[in-house]
Amino acid sequence: MANVSKGHATEATRAVLLALDRCGLAWKLEAATAVALGGGRAGTPLPDLARAVTWMIVIGGDGTILQTARALVDHPMPILGVNPGQSLGFMTDTRVQDVIATLDDMRAGNFTLLERGMLRAAVGGADGSATLLPPALNDVVFIHGAHAQLIVLNVLVNGEFFTTYAADGLVLATATGSTAHAMSAGGPILFPDTAALVLTPICPHTLTNRPIILPRGYRVDVRMGEPHREVGVAVDGQVAHQLAPGELVQMQLDTRVTRFVHSTRHSFGDVLREKLHWRGDLRVDRSRE
C-alpha cells in the first residue's frame, strides 16, 4: 500500500511492483493504491488485505506508517517501509533503489524482525467512564490549541504524584517516537527496540524540568492542572481528543507491538547518520583534505 496522495509515492509503487515480479514474489494491492495506479488492477480494502497476506510493504513517509500501524494493530504482520524519495522517513528506511537488494536479503534470510513498542492510552472521566484511545506507535502529545499559552499538567507515575509541568506542552513517546516530536523538544534518541517511554516537556517554565526515561511496566497519568486552559491530546499527531477538567489520561506501553522487516545491510546508526546529517570522524575528514 502507498500514500497515494503524493505522486512520487505512486511512481515508487510501480517500481516496487516491478521488483516483486522480478523476484518472483506474489503480491496484492490495497484498494486506494490500486485505484491510483490504474490499469484495471483489482485492489483489496486494508482490513481484508491484512487477513490475506503475510507481510506488508508500505510506501510513503512515517505518517503513512503510523496510520497503517494503527489499522494493523490486531494483525501484527511485518511491515517493510519503503521511502519514495522525498520523505525524512525514520521508519521507511528502505530506499526505492534498494528494494530488489532488500527482497533478495529477505529471501536469503539476511533480515531481522524488529518489534517496536506501542503506547496504550485511555481517558478516564470524572464520572468513572473510560474511553480507550487508538494505540500510538510514536507518541501522545498534550498541547494548547491556537493560542501560545502555558498549559498546566499534573503528572503521576505508577499512581504517585510525580510533578506539575507548566509548559507549552508535554510529549510521552515510545522509543520509535523518540526521533519525532520528542526529539524536537530536546528529548533523547532511543534505539527503536528499547522497551521504554520518554516523558519530555515542551518549553517548560521551570528549566530544571528535563526529559525522563521510564522503563516498561510504568504507567503515566496526566490530568489538567490549574488554571484550566484548553488542552488537546494528539495520538501520533493524527487522532485528537479535547481534554476536559477532571479527566485523567492513563498511558503505558501496550502488550501489542508493530513488527518491521529490517535488512541487515544497514543499521539504525546508519539511518541516524543519513537522516540527521551527522558527520563521520572529524580527524579522518581533516586527513583527507
Nearest to 267 by CA among 275, 259, 255: 275
Collapsing DSSP states into helix, strand and coil, what is residue 258? strand
Measure the CA–CA gap between 85 and 235, rounded to whole angstroms: 26
| 30, 44 contact by CB (below 8 A) | yes
Q: From start to end of 84-204, where are the E strands? A: 94-95, 111-124, 130-132, 139-143, 151-157, 160-167, 169-173, 196-202
Residue 234 three-state SS: strand
The one catalytic residue among 21, 48, 62, 168: 62
- Cell representation of residue 32: 486506494
Residue 62 among the catalytic residues? yes
The amino acid occupying position 209 is N
Active site residues: 62
